[in-house]
Chain A
């Protein structure tokens, strides 16, 4: 099938994006430090720098899924960026291997203020099943202040979505208004 026909079919079909999950779902927990962070005017847009600090790569798979057309993180104004200097959020996965600790700290230091840290997945929260090993710090908290934790092994994409929406609400002071209609059709 030609590209033009495939594209046309997609256009006619409409988006395959699932409706947005409610903020606060998926067991996300907000750190104590966050309430006081003077609500920055981010214009409802968040830029994320992701760092794998020794994950098993399962969490990365689900982050990818969250950025894809089905969960479409981008519709909320949330995008991943390459440079930490452009980022508002540091999204960390993995139990923080000692071999990655310095790179993680440097990435954090390179980010401008205000900035927030999200620990994604059981590993990033407390080391998960790698806790207690000599080669890991056992969670992001051992190195950086954590503002939001999203549990799961790995957390499914909508847990990431609702966690980030919670954060977006808190830092910009208002409920998230998605750009696309909330009743996107289910993918077949």
Chain B
């Protein structure tokens, strides 16, 4: 049964679960899950997500050859499940999270230190049926040992020097050179998933919009699409186009800030100042015409709450035209400054094979030959009707990640124009029928693909919702990228990924 078997062929041996949309879900037995680890070692199936649900675990995969997507599930016996992390290193932190939140143990997980649980919660395993007693005190976190001559450690965080999210970085250095970086996150854990359980759709949608505030539109779309899939409905066409409009505006605004911030960390603050001004053009228009600078809560399950007027269309067209000109100018400027490129070219390299092993998409993947984009594969409305390119660069360094952003801005500007030209008429929302079901969505945020999975009860409440941020698979790449670089280049590398802390801490 090994060999060139497709994901769907493999999972069909399990029991299909009814009412899981739009992709199928299969219940595997213990043996089926165990064999899965073997099968993963020789199949090109990307891990899209891994999460727990009561005493079950679910893993979502995409077969890179056939583009099939499916979810495998296992009802754990004695609260244990075979770890997938040997075959998919990206599973490691997800499994540690499952252990911390649900108390389900991953057998064979090489690194079973706690991840989100810092020993500061009022109880352990807060999402398990029976919660654990509170820890005796904060966990003393053993960092991985590093051996070698004249090495020293630099601990950084959780409170960083700038205005950024909290997390701890432990550098082990030989002189100026970083030998190893270890990340310790979890500081912003708010218990989002626990808070979502039992909520109505509008309540849970507000939480989904705040998993990672910079990607609020993308998260809201992912949540809405998952909810609509679970209830077996779809948002009306105009709403889907409005969502895409807002998603692209969000992408442009975020990439602008990132480009500025990367250059700022390479000691070129002029770019940050310019990019901030350009970004403000988008945000100011958003406030005037969409009612919120970041467009929070404008996307709701069933549709959207805002529409573009004729005036708004004209303004956004103007903004697009202006940005296209100015972003090109700034890109030329960047291209013209060898002193700046001296910092970015060849810095923080991620190899294509590593990007592949972690199944990373978005900017981190696109800059390392891996051009996955959820808008194309699996694709969702209205992108199948729109034309755009997904930039791919092979070098995997800071420079490549910067160029991917610049090119994505241009692609998004093109998309915004197409949307404004061709947005269909009709209603902006449609009520969600109250029925039980399970839904999943993959939506491309500015960092990469966001996975959202949820189960609705018969009365239309959220039983379980799991959002998986693209940063889960990008954070580990940062650890690899910084190796062999100097400490002073860390901010630059870090910014070039700009992973979300809140998105993974949940």
Contacts and interface: CB of A to CB of B under 8 A. Distances in A.
Nearest to A100: B187
Given A2-B336, A133-B195, A187-B280, A62 B293 contact: yes
Contact of A57 (B118, B273, B287, B501): B501
Given A99-B188, A130-B195, 6 more contacts: A1-B332, A55-B502, A95-B190, A129-B195, A154-B213, A188-B322
Interface stretch (A64-72, A161-169, A173-181): A64-72
A61 B162 contact: no
B194 interface: yes
A57 B500 contact: yes
Contact of A99 (B120, B122, B214): B120
B277 A187 contact: yes
Contacts, number: 162
Given A94-B188, A187-B281, A58 B194 contact: no
Interface centre among B123, B159, B190, B257 (most CB of A within 10 A): B190
Contacts of B188: 52, 54-55, 94, 97, 99-100
Nearest to B336: A2
A159 to B, nearest CB: 11
Contacts of B500: 57
A56 interface: yes
Interface in A126-166: 129-130, 132-136, 153-154, 156
Contacts of B164: 52, 60
Contacts of A59: 213
B191 A103 contact: no
A84 B210 CA distance: 28
B229 to A, nearest CB: 24
A68 B190 contact: no
Contacts of B501: 57
B121 A134 contact: yes
B213 A58 contact: yes
A103 B502 CA distance: 16
A57 B190 contact: no
Interface string B225-260: 000000000000000000000000000000001000
30 contacts: A3-B270, A51-B159, A52-B163, A52-B188, A55-B188, A56-B211, A56-B216, A57-B212, A57-B500, A58-B296, A60-B213, A61-B257, A63-B163, A67-B163, A68-B272, A69-B277, A70-B276, A94-B188, A97-B188, A99-B116, A99-B120, A99-B186, A99-B189, A100-B158, A107-B159, A130-B190, A133-B194, A134-B194, A135-B126, A135-B190
A56 B501 CA distance: 8
Contacts of B280: 65, 68, 70, 187
Contacts of A94: 188, 190
B192 A55 contact: no
A57 B188 CA distance: 10
B443 to A, nearest CB: 17
Interface in A67-111: 67-70, 80, 82, 84, 94-95, 97-103, 107
A85 B161 CA distance: 12
Interface centre among A50, A61, A80, A103 (most CB of B within 10 A): A61
Nearest to A106: B159
A11 interface: no
A111 to B, nearest CB: 12
B138 interface: yes
B154 interface: no
Contact of B210 (A69, A70, A129): A129
A77 to B, nearest CB: 18
Interface string A100-126: 111100010000000000000000000
A44 interface: no
B80 interface: no
Contacts of A101: 120
Main secondary structure of the interface of A (DSSP, over half): mixed
A61 B500 CA distance: 12
Contacts of A82: 161-162
A129 B191 contact: no
A15 to B, nearest CB: 10
A154 B294 contact: yes
A54 B187 contact: yes
Nearest to A98: B120
Contact of A134 (B163, B191, B207, B212): B191
B206 interface: yes
B121 A100 contact: no
B166 A52 contact: yes
A3 B337 contact: yes
Interface centre among A56, A97, A188 (most CB of B within 10 A): A56
Given A97-B188, A101-B120, A55 B276 contact: no
Interface in B274-299: 274, 276-277, 279-281, 283-284, 287, 293-294, 296
B165 interface: yes
B17 interface: no
Closest 9 CB pairs of A and B: A58-B213, A68-B276, A135-B191, A82-B161, A56-B213, A56-B210, A133-B191, A54-B188, A98-B120
Interface in A3-52: 3, 6-7, 16, 50-52
B287 to A, nearest CB: 7
A100 B284 CA distance: 33
Interface string B113-135: 00010101111001000000000
B333 interface: yes
A129 B210 CA distance: 9
Interface in B309-347: 322, 329, 332-333, 336-337
Interface in B373-432: none
A136 B296 CA distance: 22
Contacts of B186: 99
